[in-house]
Structure 1
């Protein structure tokens, strides 16, 4: 597994991974909200973060992570590649190489919460809404 800087030509593959991953892990997210987020992520959010992708031996992207101001803003793994340590590799890279020490997690996403707790993040606060003002509470976590 290699970690590379994601480039613009990777974005369509990344949004495909994002959507598949969200559908597999964010069952609380309304379809309308997912569809509204998709163009924002593709056209704005990818460009706003230090975006890295994990590639397998064949050069296929298996997951990605975006960091901004020490915060893991996005970490998504292809559902086919989940459980193989890719999230741990990407998050370790984010912490060591990109200076990440914080993350916000949807409270309803118990898998993500458990993952971040496993790698020693602790909950320090809660917001009743997400970054778009939607009724998806966020847990604020730090290392």
Structure 2
């Protein structure tokens, strides 16, 4: 597993991966909300440290960080369920000292993934950062 720092030229690829992943893993998200979030996300990119992840030179996903906080970890739709998420998370903890992440409460697979990989729940918000009815769980590395 390799990674490199993303550039502005990677933003369309990152957004494509995000959308494929969300369609595959966020069935609770309405199409209207998914499209609204898709428009919002690129505004955050310049403020985040984004990594593009590769296996044998093929892109499998991306991560986005802010200090010790994992803002985003999304895998290409074809890469989900192959163990890449765990490899990426372990590398992020090792190389970037990631300690915190938020997940949608309705995203049961993501919650299970982070809890299985050493995170514990430390808080909950009833809505997301834009006030939408998608509760957010705050997790930290135990």
TM-score range, shorter chain: over 0.9
1:89-132 deviation line (CA, Å, top 9, x unaligned): 22122212222100111000000001101111001111001111
**What is the aligned partner in structure 2 of residue 28 from structure 1?**
28
Shift of 1:26: 0.6
**Which residue in the other structure is 2:37 paired with?**
37
Answer whether contact 1:21 1:77 (CA < 8 A) is retained: yes
The CA RMSD measured in Å over matched residues stands at 1.1
User: Which consecutive residues of structure 1, in runs of 5 or more, have no partner in the other structure?
Assistant: none
Aligned twin of 1:8? 8
Structure 2: any 5+ residue segments left out of the alignment?
Answer: none
Tell me if the contact between 1:54 and 1:86 (Cα under 8 Å) persists in the aligned partners.
no
Aligned length: 141
Equivalent-residue separation in structure 2 for 1:67 and 1:109 (angstroms): 20
Q: 1:139 aligns with which of 119, 137, 140?
A: 137
TM-score, normalised to structure 2, is 0.94
- 1:83-94 map, 5 Å: 83-94=81-92
* Matching residue within 90, 97, 100 for 1:99: 97
3-state SS, counterpart of residue 51 of structure 1: strand
Is the 1:17–1:78 contact (alpha carbons within 8 Å) kept by the matching residues of 2? yes
Rounded to whole Å, the distance in 2 between the matches of 1:84 and 1:93 is 16
Instruction: Give 4+ residue runs of structure 1 displaced > 3 Å after superposition.
Output: none
